[in-house]
Structure formats: structure tokens, C-alpha cells
């Protein structure tokens, strides 16, 4: 299988993508019916997400993933922490302390986080 990888600049910026990231992607392909692509160029992937090409993105760094994610889904966005022995979700937007008690904060992201936590808990811990 040929994998196009344009993120590491052909090794100009290191070989971590080839050594660490690509093997993980290959190991996950075909599991659970998910279609997994990548590695993808981080500064261009979210335009494709906005166009509906992907259901999700795994960002390796906070600012690489969270900033564009908030631009696309601020009111509905949910953070999910993997690798814990329990389901952990949280609203994407943070605490909104500047809006606390003013009746101006939206609960949409919190509601999305709770729905996802319930769905994952039902699927993972039956």
C-alpha cells in the first residue's frame, strides 16, 4: 500500500511522522469500520473538514487542532480525552467565566459533551 505523506517535508523537519505517526495510522486502518486517512497537512485539513470530507480529526498538538476546531464548531465542539479508564468529555469553549451569571452563555457545547459521554459510555461499558 502506498501512503502519500506530505506533512514531514520529506524528512526536512525530522522523521517522526514516518517512524511514529504513520505506523499508528496503518495499525488503526480497517478497525471498527472507520475509514482513516493521513497523515494530513495540519494547516489545510480543517478546510476539508468544513467541507464535510471528514467526521473527525486527531490533532497531535493543542494549537494545531483546537484553534481551527473552535472556528468550525465553537457552539457544538467537544473535547474527548482518550486513553483513560473512563469516558472524559468537556465543552470545547472552556469555562466562559466572563459570562457566568449574566445569562449570556450558551449551553450547546456542554450539552454536546454530555450526549457524547453518554453515547460512548453505553457503547464502551455495556
Q: Please state the pTM of the whole predicted model.
A: 0.62
Torsion of CA 17, 124, 120, 72, to 10 degrees: 10
Question: Of all residues in the chain, what percent carry a pLDDT higher than 70?
Answer: 90
| Residue 51 to residue 117: CA distance in whole angstroms | 26
Residue 22 has pLDDT above 60, yes or no: yes
Q: Which residues pair with 89 in a beta bridge?
A: 80
| Residue 86 to residue 9: CA distance in whole angstroms | 37
> Domain residue spans in the chain?
1-39, 41-73, 74-126
Residue 14 has pLDDT above 80, yes or no: no
- 104 with 82: CB under 8 angstroms? no
What are the tens digits of pLDDT across the range 27-56? Answer: 888 787 778 888 887 778 888 888 888 877
Amino acid at each position: 500500500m502506498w501512503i502519500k505523506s506530505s506533512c514531514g517535508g520529506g524528512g526536512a523537519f525530522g522523521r517522526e511522522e514516518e517512524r511514529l505517526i504513520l505506523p499508528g495510522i496503518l495499525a488503526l486502518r480497517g478497525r471498527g469500520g472507520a475509514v482513516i486517512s493521513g497523515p494530513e497537512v495540519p494547516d489545510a485539513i480543517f478546510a476539508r473538514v468544513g467541507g464535510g470530507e471528514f467526521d473527525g480529526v486527531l490533532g497531535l498538538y493543542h494549537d494545531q487542532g483546537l484553534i481551527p476546531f473552535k472556528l468550525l464548531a465553537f457552539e457544538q465542539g467537544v473535547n474527548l480525552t482518550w486513553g483513560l479508564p473512563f469516558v472524559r468529555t468537556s465543552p470545547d469553549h472552556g469555562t466562559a467565566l466572563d459570562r457566568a451569571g449574566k445569562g449570556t452563555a450558551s449551553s450547546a457545547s456542554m450539552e454536546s459533551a454530555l450526549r457524547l459521554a453518554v453515547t460512548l459510555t453505553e457503547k464502551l461499558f455495556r
